[in-house]
Structures are given as C-alpha cells and as structure tokens.
Structure 1
C-alpha cells in the first residue's frame, strides 16, 4: 500500500472543513503521508456532470443546509451553514496552500488548509481577501512572502496540474481522498478511509 493519501479538496468546501481534522488525525495515527492538493472544481464540474451550488435545484440547496447542520451537530464541530463570506472565490487561498506545500512542506500546507477552512466556515472571515490570507499565514507561523509567491506562474501551473490530476483520477466532488488509486468521496467516507489504512 502507498504511504500517501491524496487529498483533493476546495478551500471553500464545508464538507472538506467537516472532515479536515479527522483526516489529519487518521494520517498521523496511521503514520502515512498526505499530499495536500487544492483543486479547481470550476474545471472539474463541467467534465463530471456536477453543478455549482447556485445552479442546483432549490430542493438540493435546501437539503444541503439540512445535512450541514446535521453533520456539524453530529461531529460537534462549530459551523455557520450560511457564512457571511460565501460564495467566495477560493482560487487565492488554493494557490496559497499550493505555494506553502511547495516551499514549506505538506504538514504546513495541511495546517494552513485547516486554518483557511475554519476561517470561512467557523470564523466568518473572507478567504478571498489578501489581508485575511496574510493573517492566516502569520497565525500558522508561515512566511508572508508566500502570498506573493502564490500569485506567480509556477504556483498557478502547480494548481492547474493538481486539477488535471484530479480529473484524470476521476474526482468529481470535494473532498476526495485517494489511496492506491481507490477514491473515497466525502467526509462521511472517512470510516472507509480508516479501514483502507488498516486503522479498523
């Protein structure tokens, strides 16, 4: 078995937020590695039959809110189901996480991803705002120059490559965890991830 869990997600995904800490715990306890791979679902959805939230039927939108509330209560995770800054352009945060992964390693990227997700879904902060992203870097003890590097062509190329890799792997939703080529879609599949990692 590969020692690496591929973690495809979007920084504005409430489902990634609900699963992030549990994934981090699973990876640590199983002594596996994690590849932190934020991707652009704006590119993935058209190729996989998915729709952005605003274009989904009202029934689906309403049920999504119900399920978010249910899971947040079940997991005892603080979550605003309709946060102030949502919908939000997640590309700046995704590129920043990508830059941190490149320069500071996956553990740092995992920490920053958790901070970004919490900023959106728990703290009512605007993750598209440079000032917010700078604050999150400081809170994670990461260099502020990562914000400048995140705007560069190399980081964009990495972000694009992650997205294409997700498409090639058959990813269609967030979060998706891939282990040895096997896909697990959704934070509610983390029990299966645990089994795959030999933790159950």
Structure 2
C-alpha cells in the first residue's frame, strides 16, 4: 500500500477542492493518506514566490476559477468573508488534534469546511473558539510544542522541494495541484510512463535566461 503525504494549508481553495475530490479521484486504489498541515506563506517565502491572492490581477480570476471548479465537481463552496487571512490558528488546531501532528480526515474536513462553506470570516475569534470546542484537541494549539511542529513541518516540506499546496508526496515523487490528481492516480495505478526517463530528465534541461528582479 502506497503512502501519500498530503501537504495542505486551509487557506488554499485548491487544497480544499483537492481534499474533497481525493477519494473519488483515487477510487479503487489501495493507499494511505497522511495529512501534513504546513504554512503556505512559509513555503512561498522560502522559494521567493507570492501567493496568487497576493497578485491583484490574478486574485479575481483565482476566485472565479475555484467557484467554477467547485460547481463542476459538485463540491459545496462559498468564499470566506475575507481572503487571504492568517491561517495559523487553524493549522495549529488541526495539528493539536493528533499526538504526531497528523490530523485525520474528519479533522481536516471540519477545518476546511469552516473556511470554505458558509461564507463567514474564517479567522473570527468566536468561530475559532467554537471550532476548537467542536474538535476538542488533545493538545494545546497555542503550546510551544505545536507551534514548533508546524514550523518543522513547513521547513521539512520546503527542503523536500515542495513549493505550494496542495502537494502530494509519494515515493519521493511530488505531485502539485488539484489538476495533478489524474497524474497521481496514474502513478499509483502503476503507469509505465513513470518508469521511463522523462520524469528525471526534465531536471537536466538547462536554464536559458534568468529574469532580473
């Protein structure tokens, strides 16, 4: 049985859609999912990127696209009252629900739906308190231990080459984005393409020009 490490941040609408679609996309295959909350902002900073919602010309398109994708896939979705927002409280809460920092599907579903269903403010203090009461974490989300666990998971992800969410790591191979789910399925199903040279050969393509920042 293959293990999929699903790197996610609840701030990402694409991570939400991928989370909801994963069981259907991988139906009939044998696998185990480890949910790994990470701070997307930390990954972006490590790789020198901006989040799509931080780029004004891209922001409106992002929201239109994810709402359309949700409708296409039959996934309930409403944009939160404000976005982007600070997801640290949500990430720490999810981590605190498991001793190893690997929240189960129920926990992740509850937090994702807190953000992406209903159209309320995901960072509202009263709503966060109610969410914490509902999930009843076994550890204190505000403890130094949990905070360090989130930092460590984010740093480890960045060192592994993960640059965004949703990202799926299987056998050292990285699959990024909602649209990578069919590719992930093909790998898990034993598609012979992954045994060929093309996966590794792309790293040998020389850089022709470097844009000056």
Category of TM-score, reference length = shorter chain: 0.7 to 0.9
CA-to-partner distance for each residue in 1:137-165, whole Å, 9 max, x for gaps?
Answer: 555xx42564xx11101111111111011
What residue number does 1:51 align with?
A: 50
Asked whether the 8 Å contact 1:37–1:162 carries over to 2, the reply is: yes
Match runs of 1:96-107 below 5 Å: 96-102=93-99, 106=102
SS, match of residue 30 in structure 1: coil
TM-score (normalised: structure 1): 0.82
What residue number does 1:123 align with?
A: 118
Q: Which of 139, 163, 171 is equivalent to 1:180?
A: 171
CA distance in 1, matches of 2:148, 2:90: 15
Q: Structure 1: which 5+ runs fail to align? A: none
Greater helix percent: which structure?
1
CA-to-partner distance for each residue in 1:162-183, whole Å, 9 max, x for gaps?
Answer: 1011101111111111111111
Asked whether the 8 Å contact 1:13–1:117 carries over to 2, the reply is: no
TM-score (normalised: structure 2): 0.78
CA-to-partner distance for each residue in 1:87-129, whole Å, 9 max, x for gaps?
Answer: 22100100111111326x84x5321211211121112233334
What residue number does 1:85 align with?
A: 82
- Tell me how large the CA RMSD over aligned residues is: 2.6
